[in-house]
Amino acid sequence: MKGIFLAGILCLLLVDTKAYGQQADILDVELGYQFINSTLVKGTTKFDLSDQARFGMGQDDMNYVLEDTLFTDEDKDYILRQLAALEDFTWKAGKIAGANVLSRQMIDEEFKEGDFWEKFNAKYGNCITSWSFPIFTKSREYVISYNWTQCGYLSGSGSVDLYKFELGKWIFVKSYMQGVS
């Protein structure tokens, strides 16, 4: 009986972990939402957020970030493991203040038609924001965040930024990359 009870608890833990599509020891989902809400969300602004939370950069760009001497070898390994775990992660509605979470599948379907931005603007507003899940160092002292906002075919901007946790809050340290279209 005790064995069945323990097996049931283990199954519940595995199901809960897989509900976010992650391994609990790799991604701290609640800490990720706390970082987004305390640092990236500005006031009570309403915005449209793609549910896809992957890092929007290539391997060469990530190698550039990982060259930073702030990161130990253990941090680099931990960062890469988190990036691999993000494959199926999606933002959940109601977890990010002010966000109207839009399905990436819906966005991709709408983009197949030539008048996407006209339809999008009429239905939702002007811009789509994309944030990666925050990637933490092993000690949780630093976090790397990718963000991009697109407001039309030729109107977008974003960056890959580093923050440090000091005196109870996340402080911007630097941008590794910035882009504008």
Closest C-alpha to 92, from 53, 134, 127 = 53
Yes or no: say if 149 and 127 are a contact pair by the CB < 8 Å rule.
yes
Please give the Cα distance from 70 to 72 (Å, whole number).
7
pLDDT of residue 93: 92
Query: What residues pair up with 102 in beta bridges, in sequence order?
Result: 50
The answer to whether residue 106 is domain-embedded is: yes
Entry field: residues in the chain: 181
The answer to whether residue 29 is domain-embedded is: yes
How many domains is the chain partitioned into structurally? 1
The answer to whether residue 45 is domain-embedded is: yes
pLDDT of residue 181: 83
DSSP state of 68: -
> Could you list the residue range(s) of the whole structural domain that residue 116 is in?
23-180
CB atoms within 10 A of CB 114: 8
The answer to whether residue 1 is domain-embedded is: no
Cβ contacts of 86 within 8 Å, gap of 6 or more: 22, 27, 53, 54, 55, 132, 133
pLDDT digit string, tens, across residues 82-121: 998 888 889 999 999 989 898 888 888 877 777 888 888 8
Residue ranges, the chain, pLDDT below 50: 1-23
The answer to whether residue 10 is domain-embedded is: no
pLDDT of residue 179: 84
Q: What's this model's pTM, rounded to 2 decimal places?
A: 0.79
